[in-house]
């Protein structure tokens, strides 16, 4: 099972919201048997924690060390998130 990790500054608010949106999108795409979503803080994340990472534009520079990074212009835009996830998982 591959992991998609939402990352924010504190690991509580926006990353949890993005995790819920990722989970919803994975269900829509029918890939919950291959991918699962999690969330954490920037201070606690390492490049080994997941296969794909998602963060907001405000943390893009700080998270640039993470592999397969999705940077969202808007954490609230599910369409943007859906398209960027589809690109990363080759759908």
Structural domain boundaries in the chain: 2-88
Q: How many CB atoms lie within 10 A of CB 89?
A: 17
Residue 22 has pLDDT above 80, yes or no: yes
Residue 20 has pLDDT above 80, yes or no: yes
pTM across the whole model: 0.95
**Per-residue model confidence (pLDDT) at position 28:** 97
CB pairs under 8 A, 24+ apart, for 21-30? Answer: 21/78, 21/81, 22/54, 22/81, 22/85, 24/78, 25/78, 25/81, 25/82, 25/85, 26/85, 28/82, 29/82, 29/85, 29/86, 29/89, 29/91
Nearest-angstrom CA–CA distance, 87 and 10: 27
Read off the pLDDT of each residue in 33-46 and give the average, rounded to a whole number.
97
- CATH number for the domain running over 2-88: 3.40.50.2300
Residue 6 has pLDDT above 80, yes or no: yes
**Per-residue model confidence (pLDDT) at position 90:** 87
Taking a C-beta distance cutoff of 8 angstroms, is the pair 25, 82 a contact? yes
């Amino acid at each position: 099972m591959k992991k998609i990790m939402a990352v924010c500054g504190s690991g509580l608010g926006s990353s949890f919201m993005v995790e819920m949106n990722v989970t919803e999108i994975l269900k829509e795409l029918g890939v919950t048997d291959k991918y699962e979503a999690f969330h954490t803080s920037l201070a606690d994340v390492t490049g080994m924690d997941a296969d794909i990472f998602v963060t907001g534009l405000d943390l893009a520079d700080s998270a640039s060390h993470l592999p397969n990074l999705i940077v969202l212009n808007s954490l609230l835009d599910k369409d943007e998130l859906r398209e960027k996830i589809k690109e990363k998982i080759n759908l």
